[in-house]
């Protein structure tokens, strides 16, 4: 299993990198919307997108929802809501999804109030059962919303997202991307992580918990698109900006490209498993211990299998030997442990697999 410790040990990556951005432009505005307006923005105008559920345990239960509604009916202030606004003015929920969903669900009659401590007379009431004055009070309740606006850089947005979510379950960067760029990109990642070929090639060891599997797949897709000349992006050790750019790119992709990426990834995983088994993306055993899947090795070798012409798979034994020699060279280098996402490290590993592919064609 590739744990956070393994990720850090094998790749040198920290779950939350601390970068300095002295010249960043940070734009945050303060708005106020009634509960009725929020409901309308979500359900009718689609101006506000509630992010898909994050993979974390503290999803609200009904007692929490009922207590929130009781607070609103009493006029008690609740914490501010944070949203991101894109270039088109569409807002996406950052923090406040559980509260917003509870309000909308109650107004839609999806649950009744029970075991209220301060307003016991409303026990058993749904929204339609409330006295008109209280229905109006709930609809007019003002929610304070902080809007993070463009051109705030992606890495600054992630730090804001992280700070907002402290105190609950901290979200990693892939969970943030899943929230911010819901659409074709997130659908593709979910589809690819369920492929049998991916599970076989990795021995099922890259777990879906905290979206680790989708993160690894996204990295492969991003570098594959970059190295094959499909992206107009200058990679300068700016991984978070790069992956955000790719998520936006995939959300605008046509069906042909999405199908191509699905087929390419599937074939790459099939080739990896057929030739190398479950150890394709692992470095050789060290001190009698089987080593975990190395993320940088995964994306570079998956790229190799993706660009390798099918005719090159005929001489299986010689190909396996060539890959093993490359893995030994990779393991002896420092490019798979420290500053893995640095420009030099990225160029090194992908250039080496491209050289191997070219050598096999000679």
The pLDDT of residue 24 is 63
- Among residues 27, 127, 138, which one has the least CA distance to residue 86? 27
Residue range 52-65, pLDDT digits in tens: 443 343 468 899 99
What 3-state DSSP class applies to 162? helix
Judge whether residue 17 has pLDDT over 50: no
| The pLDDT of residue 42 | 94
Mean pLDDT (the chain) is 85
**If residue 62 lies in a helix (H) or strand (E), which one and from where to where?**
helix 62-74
Answer yes or no: is pLDDT of 269 > 80: yes
* Own/partner pairs, 121-126, CB within 8 angstroms, 24+ separation: 122/70, 122/73
Determine the pLDDT at residue 317.
82
Band the pLDDT of 337: cuts 50, 70, 90: confident
For tokens 């009698």, name the residue: 288
Structure confidence at residue 56 (pLDDT): 45
What is the reported pLDDT for 57? 39
Residue 336 contacts residue 7 (beta carbons within 8 Å): no
Between CA 72 and CA 142 the distance in angstroms is 9
pLDDT per residue as tens digits for the range 123-174 = 999 999 999 999 999 999 999 999 988 887 766 666 766 666 665 555 678 8
Q: What are phi and psi of 51, to 5 degrees?
A: -60, 155
Q: Is the dihedral of CA 319, 322, 327, 328 positive or negative?
A: positive
For 227, phi then psi, to 5°, come to -70, -25
What is the residue whose two structure tokens read 């804001």? 160
Span of 170-174, 324-328, 341-345 with lowest mean pLDDT: 170-174
Largest CA distance in the chain: 83
This model's pTM is above 0.85: no
């Amino acid at each position: 299993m590739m744990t956070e410790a393994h990720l850090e040990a094998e790749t040198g990556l920290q779950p939350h990198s601390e970068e300095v951005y002295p010249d960043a432009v940070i734009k945050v505005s303060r708005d106020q919307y009634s509960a009725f307006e929020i409901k309308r923005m979500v359900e009718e105008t689609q101006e506000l997108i509630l992010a898909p559920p994050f993979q974390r345990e503290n999803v609200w239960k009904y007692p929490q929802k009922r207590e929130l509604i009781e607070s609103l009916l009493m006029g008690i202030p609740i914490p501010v809501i944070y949203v991101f606004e894109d270039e088109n003015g569409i807002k996406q929920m950052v923090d406040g999804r559980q509260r917003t969903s509870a309000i909308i669900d109650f107004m839609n009659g999806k649950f009744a109030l029970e075991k209220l401590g301060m307003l016991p007379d409303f026990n058993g009431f749904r929204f339609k059962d409330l006295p008109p004055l209280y229905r109006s009070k709930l609809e007019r309740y003002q929610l304070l919303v902080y809007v993070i606006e463009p051109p705030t850089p992606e890495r600054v947005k992630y730090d804001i997202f992280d700070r907002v979510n402290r105190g609950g379950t901290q979200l990693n960067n892939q969970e943030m991307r899943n929230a911010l760029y819901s659409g074709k990109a997130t659908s593709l990642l979910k589809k690819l992580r369920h492929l049998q070929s991916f599970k076989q090639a990795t021995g099922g060891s890259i777990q879906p918990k905290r979206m680790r599997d989708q993160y690894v797949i996204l990295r492969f897709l991003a570098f594959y698109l970059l190295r094959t000349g499909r992206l107009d992006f200058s990679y300068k050790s700016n991984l978070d900006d790069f992956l955000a750019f790719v998520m936006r790119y995939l959300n605008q992709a046509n069906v042909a490209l999405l199908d191509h990426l699905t087929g390419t990834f599937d074939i790459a995983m099939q080739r990896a498993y057929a030739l190398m088994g479950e150890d394709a993306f692992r470095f050789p055993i060290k001190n009698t211990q089987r080593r975990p899947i190395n993320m940088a090795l995964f994306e570079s070798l998956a790229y190799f299998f993706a660009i390798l012409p099918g005719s090159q798979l005929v001489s299986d034994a010689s190909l396996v030997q060539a890959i093993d020699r490359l893995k030994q060279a990779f393991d002896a280098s420092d490019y798979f442990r420290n500053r893995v996402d640095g420009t030099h490290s990225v160029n090194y590993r992908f250039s080496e697999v491209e050289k191997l592919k070219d050598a096999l064609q000679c």
